Structures are given as C-alpha cells and as structure tokens.
Structure 1
Amino acid sequence: MSGPVYLTLPREVLARPVNDIEVRDGPAAVPVPASPDPGAVDLLAERLAGARLPVIVTRSTGADPRTVKLLSDLCLRFSIGVLEHKPRYANVPSSHPLHLGFDIAPALADADVLCFLDMDVPWTPGSGEPRHDAIVVQSGPDPHFGAYPIRGHRSDLSITADTRNLLTALSAALAGRPTDPGRHDRLAAIADRARDRRREVLDAASRAGGTIDKTFMNWALAQVRPPDAVIVNEYWARPDLLGDLEPEGFFGTTPDGGLGWGLPAALGVRLARPDRTVIATVGDGAYMFANPAACHHAMRGHNLPVLTIIAANGRWAAVENSALTMYPDGHAAASKDTTFSELAPIPAFEKYAEASGGHGERVTERSELVPALRRGLHAVREQGRHAVIDVRCA
C-alpha cells in the first residue's frame, strides 16, 4: 500500500562530507503493478460464472479510485455480489444493486464462491468460516501476506495481481460465459434486505431519545455531509450508515495506524485535496493522542480548515472491550472496575480549536447535534476556519 514515508538520519552522519560518491539525478523507477496469470484468471472466471451465489469481498480496493467503477461494473454486468468487510476506503457505492452490505457472516454461510481482494484478514477464525464446499479465492500483490508472522486463512485459488489489473482481465474472461439466470434476482433480494436493515437502524436512531450514541452521530453526519466530503475516520464513522461515498471519500485507520492517526491524516488529506471538505471523525482518546494543540496550530498556520467531530464518551472503549473480551471472567469483569480505561475528567476539547482561531462547540443534546454540525461546516467551507464539535455521547 502506497503512502507517506518518514526517514531520519543522525545529524553527525548528515554533516559528514560526501567523497567519491556519484549521485544520480531523478527518482527511482516505480515497479510496474503485478498482472495476473491468464490461466488463473480463466479458472476464476469459470468458478464465478458457474456459481449459484458468488461474492467478491473487499476492504481496501478503493485505495486506487480507478477500481471503484471497474468493480461496480463487473459485479453488475456478470451478476456477482459485492460486500465490503470493515472497509478502509470507499470501494463501491453502497447503493449498488448487488451490494450485499457490510456484514460478512451471511456471505460466509451462503456463498459458494468467495473472492477476497487484497484482504489481510478476510474473516476472523472462530467468528465464522466459509462453507466447506465453497471455493475460496484470495488475490492481491501478496495474496498470502507473507510478511505476517502468523496467517493461515484457507485459499483454494491464490492469484498474485494488482487489483485493477485483475478486474480488467477478469471482465474480459467472463464475457460470453453463461451464468445462472436466477442469480441476479437472488443477489438483488439479499442486497435489498441489507439496505432495508440499514434504513431501519437509521430510522430508529433518528427517532430515539436520551443520550447521544454513535449510531445517532452517523445519522446526523449523513444529514449534513456535503457530496464532496472526505471522511477520515478513527473511531465512529460507519460507511454503511453514511450513504454513497465518492471515490477517495473515506479513509479508515490503516493496518499500521495507531491511536492519534486520524487528525494528522486529515490534515494530510486536506493538503492533498484542497478542493474537498475534510471531516475527521475521532474519539476522545484518539484526539488526545494526536497532540491536538499542535494539529490545530498547523491548521491555522497552513490554512488547512478541517472539521473535527469528537465522540467523547470518557473512556478507552477499545482497551476496555479488548480486556473484557480476552478475560470475560477476569478481575475487570468481576469487579466492574473500569478505572484503567476511564478518561475523566474530560477536557473542554472545543477550546483547542478556539485557541488557534477556530470554531468550537460542545454538544450534549440530540437536538443540538445537526445544527452544530452545520455551523462547523459553515466555518470550514465558507469562512476557511477549522472547527471542532465536541459531542458528549455514550
């Protein structure tokens, strides 16, 4: 996966004279993306064409925005279901007629051909497995992720290929192959049910009262999100609840990311895409780890207005959930002691933005959230000021 590189050398080394070394001008050549083996593509095309319920599963193919249309067109043209499992990018429009949703469990239970595109963890062993009689395909520049110390996901066909090259070759290989005439309708019915469930979740969130929760935050963001917005998510934003996202419209935490990645990443996106509205969706812990004073100072100094929406629930939810999941009968679970994951007292996060000339608001009531988000977007889009909406939530 391409991305920024940070390189540092000691000053003592950098200060030494350079003798008898010839430095060649110009950048090094970028390796050509891997192309798939034609025989493997034909075999995959044969398996997909002959399947009763074929599904392509993706997480990060949208890192190359050119694949979004390729994948969408291929699945629609050849009646193949597409599913996004814990997506890190906008991989395919959620309104795609054969988009089966974001929950992989039904696909693992029902699909007879599963094609995973460049996924390091295609499924979580113990939480669900492909059917014994299903054909499992893994494809990517390194389909078995050989650099990982431990990885044993089953694969009946492994294809080494850049995803764009694979989709291009696969589309040509599928052309003219007959498919089950009832397959499109079966997949479309599954896709409709998945969309209905998402609408039900959002409708319930919009009508509910009481404390703000993260589902309601997604509903509220969906109401105000500009079409050109780029969501940089480190915690609570859910692509399944936000509607269709443009290519390069969503960036989730990368495998090598950590707490505090989201806010600086949003600055980088704003720098690279000055014509887009950038929204950072973070938790209170992630926000503090990002060194927010420095981030907002940089926003002001470099004219990088970003809207930051903080889900401030006063705890390290990931730490707490991991401990209770790993040790359900341990001390923390038995004593209900969560002091190790509490963040109280919670700072007034909105003041970080104000300290550097930005717009800051704190929200505690559901009725306040959408208007506050609109004001934050106005500050970013119309006034060129960074903004923080500090949402106190469950």
Structure 2
Amino acid sequence: GRSVEAFEALAALAKDFAIPVVQPAATDLSLSTDHPMFCGFELGSHLGEADAVLVINAGVPWMPRLAKPKASTKVIHMGVDPLVSRHPFREYEADLLVGGDPVAGLVMLRESLAGLVKDKKALESRRKKVSAARTEMLDKRDKFAVSVKDQTPIHPAWLGHCLNQVKAKDAVVVNELGVQPGRLDLTTPLSFIGSGLAGGLGAGLGTALGAKLAAPEREVIGCVGDGSYMFGNPVPMHFVARAENLPTLTVVSNNHSWLAVRQSTLAVYPDGAASKANVMPIQDLNPSPAFERVIESCGGVGEKVEAPEDLAPALKRSFEALRSGTPALLNVSVQAIR
C-alpha cells in the first residue's frame, strides 16, 4: 500500500478472482475499504477458514496464540524479504516463499491465474459469500457505534464514527493508537499510515507533519493516544506546523493511561500483583494535562471534548480552522478500551 501501483495491483487481483483481503495491524492502506473484497482490519474467522493464504510484506501476519491457519492451508509469503530476516526470531511456516517486488509479483500472479481458472461458478460463489460477510461487518460497525453514542466518557467507536463523518474523502489519517481503523472509510491510495507493532512511540506527530509536507493539498489528521502525544514532543511539532504552514488536525484519544502497557501486563500476568493494585503502576496518566492549551501556546486552536454530543460540532470547528490554514487539536476524553 505504499504506492498507487501496489494499491491498484492488489485491487485488480482481488476483484478478478474474488480473493478476500484482510489488513491486520495495518501500517498502510493496501486496498480501498469500499472494494468488494475488502474484509476489514481484523482477521476474524477468515484465517481459520482459508484453504490458501497469501502474506504480502507482513512481518507479523497473525499472532499464533490468537489465530492461525488450518494445518492443511497452503501459506505463501511474498515480499522483498519474505523471511523478514531483520527479525532475530520469527517462526511462521510457509509452503512457498516468493522474493521480489510485491507489485511485480501481484501483476504476474494475476496474469498466471487468468489462464488457470476453469470453474467460474466457484468464483461467483465466493464473491457472494464475501459480499454477505462485508454487509454483516459494516452493519455491525454502524449499529455498534450508534449503541454507544451516549456513553460518557466517549466510546472510541463513537469517536471513529464521528471522525469518519466529517473528514474529507481523501484525507490522510496518521494513526498511532488513536482511532480504530475499521471505523473509517478509506478509499484513496496513501490515505492511511499506521504505527508499527513495537517501538517508536511518539512517531505519529512527526509523521503527520511529513505527510502534510508531502501532500499539502490533502487534509492530514493525526490520531494519537495521550501517551503517544506526550512522547511525540508536541511543542516542537506544533511550532513547526505553524512556522512552516503545515496545518494538521491532531486528535488525542485521552484515556488517561498507557492502555497498551496495561493490556500487555494483564495478558502476561492476569493474576499478578499489578492486576490487584487499586491503580496499576507505570500506566496511569492522571492528572491529565490540558493538551488543548499546548497547541494554543503555539498559535493553533484547541478544544477539550468530554460529552459525546459535543464531539461532532467540535470536529467541524476543528476542520474549519484547518481549512483556513490554522493547526487544530481536539483533546477527547475516551474510555480506556480498544
């Protein structure tokens, strides 16, 4: 998904041969979310049901503890370095490794399959099955957002829903633990940049500036958590945005904690001392700073949002400021859940 060519090559392959595409832990947008074969950002049941899996440039395509393919499934890894040799330890079995440029590989695969497909009925059957799964996925997404719209603190799903309603179609979303990507409609190439699986906390703010510098004609939205916002050195970021005329919208999903630390600790030590503490150490971020005032000190506009009914109007005001050339920030109080 890091080039228009890659975006288009995968779209053509998936469409022609009814191949469902899932993007877990996405760092780029490889397929439009309105593509008939796009099946979301969560593996769900797709991995366990597949007879063949093509892994493209993914260092950690799934967590074996949580999901894995059937023993009979044929697994193919394609990429410049399909073994991901930069990782000191990686144990993903594969039936076939394809080394090379994924764009060229996808184009060649599409050309090869064109002469091999004999059973058109099987393709159409799979196409209908994927269409039904997509309809169910999108219905669940929208119904859940509506079901939590009145909750306080604001539910992360409602934040994603409201942001999706207001942003431009071709906006670039830089996501560092700030929004659930499955809540967003992303249909334009190069419109999503996600954080990596580990390390680099705080990169989101600088990445948003870089995206705006590379695409000044597009809206850029940096979605970060309160922990990643503080790690991102926000004063220099907001200063540079103003000084170099790089207006971006920063949305801080403020759950008053390092939620990733809390969740990881409980996953490894569910009955440990930290789980029994009144306040788990090294993850609580109270009292929370007034992040909206940080951007104000640098010439931008900021707002704090605590009530769910105030979220959509605040987003609209932020985008109005952004479109007039002024950087903006929303400090949104959200529940400490993913």
Q: TM-score range by the shorter chain?
A: over 0.9
CA 1:156–1:187: 2 relative to 1, 3 Å: same
Q: Give 1:123 shift.
A: 1.5
Amino acid corresponding to residue 304 of structure 1 in structure 2? L
SS in 1 for 2:22: strand
Query: Which runs of 5 or more structure 1 residues have no equivalent in the other structure?
Result: 1-61
Give the alignment's Cα RMSD to 1 decimal.
1.5
Q: Distance in 1 between matches of 2:169 and 2:199?
A: 27
Amino acid corresponding to residue 301 of structure 1 in structure 2? A
Deviates more, 1:65-74 or 1:199-208: 199-208
SS in 2 for 1:168: helix
The equivalent of 1:182 in structure 2 is 122
Q: Give 1:126 shift.
A: 1.7
The equivalent of 1:384 in structure 2 is 325
- 2:20–2:38: 8 Å Cα contact kept in structure 1? yes
- Match for residue 226 of structure 1 among 146, 155, 168: 168
The equivalent of 2:268 in structure 1 is 326
The equivalent of 1:202 in structure 2 is 142
The equivalent of 2:245 in structure 1 is 303
Q: Give 1:278 shift.
A: 0.5
Tell me: higher relative CO, structure 1 or 2? Use CA pairs within 8 A at least 6 residues apart. Answer: 2
Q: Give 1:227 shift.
A: 1.3
Amino acid corresponding to residue 102 of structure 1 in structure 2? F
Q: Distance in 2 between matches of 1:217 and 1:166?
A: 38
Q: Give 1:98 shift.
A: 2.0
Is 2:331 the counterpart of 1:393? no
Structure 1 residue ranges (4+ consecutive) displaced by more than 6 angstroms after TM superposition: none
The equivalent of 1:374 in structure 2 is 316
- 1:198–1:240: 8 Å Cα contact kept in structure 2? no
CA 1:270–1:250: 2 relative to 1, 3 Å: same
Q: Give 1:199 shift.
A: 2.7
SS in 2 for 1:182: helix
- 1:100–1:187: 8 Å Cα contact kept in structure 2? no
**TM alignment of 1:87-98, pairs within 5 A:** 87-98=26-37
Is 2:277 the counterpart of 1:335? yes
Q: Give 1:73 shift.
A: 1.1
- 1:315–1:343: 8 Å Cα contact kept in structure 2? yes
Q: Distance in 2 between matches of 1:67 and 1:201?
A: 27
- 1:80–1:184: 8 Å Cα contact kept in structure 2? no
Amino acid corresponding to residue 333 of structure 2 in structure 1? R
Q: Distance in 1 between matches of 2:16 and 2:126?
A: 15
Amino acid corresponding to residue 319 of structure 1 in structure 2? V
The equivalent of 1:109 in structure 2 is 48
In the TM superposition, what whole-angstrom CA distance separates every residue of 1:234-264 from its partner, at most 9, and x where no partner exists?
0132332211331010000135752111011
- 2:14–2:20: 8 Å Cα contact kept in structure 1? yes
SS in 2 for 1:254: coil
SS in 1 for 2:175: strand
SS in 1 for 2:21: strand
Q: Give 1:80 shift.
A: 1.9
CA 1:272–1:386: 2 relative to 1, 3 Å: same
CA 1:193–1:79: 2 relative to 1, 3 Å: closer
CA 1:378–1:369: 2 relative to 1, 3 Å: same
Amino acid corresponding to residue 211 of structure 2 in structure 1? V
SS in 2 for 1:83: coil
Amino acid corresponding to residue 389 of structure 1 in structure 2? L
The equivalent of 1:146 in structure 2 is 85
Deviates more, 1:104-113 or 1:192-201: 192-201
Deviates more, 1:229-238 or 1:193-202: 193-202
The equivalent of 1:124 in structure 2 is 63
Q: Distance in 2 between matches of 1:237 and 1:201?
A: 14
The equivalent of 1:262 in structure 2 is 204
The equivalent of 2:75 in structure 1 is 136
Deviates more, 1:323-332 or 1:205-214: 205-214
- 1:102–1:240: 8 Å Cα contact kept in structure 2? yes
The equivalent of 1:357 in structure 2 is 299
Query: Which runs of 5 or more structure 2 residues have no equivalent in the other structure?
Result: none
Q: % of aligned pairs identical?
A: 35
SS in 2 for 1:149: coil
- Match for residue 22 of structure 2 among 83, 90, 93: 83
- 1:90–1:249: 8 Å Cα contact kept in structure 2? yes
Q: Give 1:127 shift.
A: 1.3
- 2:56–2:102: 8 Å Cα contact kept in structure 1? yes
Q: Give 1:120 shift.
A: 0.4
Is 2:64 the counterpart of 1:64? no
Q: Distance in 2 between matches of 1:207 and 1:127?
A: 27
Q: Give 1:69 shift.
A: 1.4
- 1:202–1:216: 8 Å Cα contact kept in structure 2? no
Q: Distance in 1 between matches of 2:132 and 2:203?
A: 35
Paired residues, number: 332
Amino acid corresponding to residue 285 of structure 1 in structure 2? G
